[in-house]
Amino acid sequence: MSDLHALPSKPEREYCSTSEAAQMLGVSLGTVQQMVENGLLEAWKTAGGHRRIRIGSVEDYLRRRSSGVAAPHPVGVLRILVAEDDRILQRLYAHTFETWNLPIEVRLVESGFDGLLEIGRQQPDLLISDLVMPGLDGFAMISKLRSDPKLEDMDIIVVTGLSQEDIAERGGLPDDVTIYGKPVPFKELKGYIQARLAQFQRRGRAAS
């Protein structure tokens, strides 16, 4: 008779590294550090100064986010939603944002409809959107968003392959929407995001 089932099971890990938590949450290392400092994730430091984050607290945060219960907005963290149906560009956005190591939280969706659902669950500070997408396109999504006064503080950037003439022929976009052409101008996006983060910091100092 085999006694294999008598062997003790391998204990599950209780803690993970900062980079592992960032991968689980789909955010940057800087965002994870901000979340720890703001008490949204439980963590401790090793004798060597490395952060170890309790996996249970990461899973709790993910459950709140997926259940539609709005998670608290981490102080000093910019929430970004990217609406882009091209999988290669999605990966490029995610990889590039990660290399900046800024306090940002990034989510990705593939259509205007998914964008509206995600914004309904958790409003971002900044929406970066393509215009030509399957189903509900960027024009319809942005029109819907700008008709809602509760979302008037949300910045919108469009990154598109359409020309100004093409956009005008399709009805145009609201005046407060910033428009960039493709390929994705990451240098300009980084400057825009850094400026928004600086505004967050000034507001935080003024409130303290």
Domain 13-72 maps to which CATH number in 3.40.50.10490, 1.10.10.60, 3.40.50.970, 1.10.1660.10? Answer: 1.10.1660.10
pLDDT in tens, the chain (208 residues): 444 444 444 345 789 998 888 888 776 676 777 678 767 789 988 888 888 999 988 888 777 766 655 555 666 789 999 999 999 999 999 999 999 989 999 999 888 988 988 888 889 999 999 999 988 899 999 999 999 998 999 999 999 999 999 999 999 999 999 999 999 999 999 999 999 999 877 776 655 5
Break the chain into its structural domains and give their ranges.
Answer: 13-72, 76-208
pTM listed for this prediction = 0.67
Q: Which residues does 144 contact at the CB level (< 8 Å), separation at least 6?
A: 116
Domain 76-208 maps to which CATH number in 3.40.50.2300, 3.90.226.10, 3.40.50.1100, 3.40.50.2000? Answer: 3.40.50.2300
- pLDDT value of position 11: 42
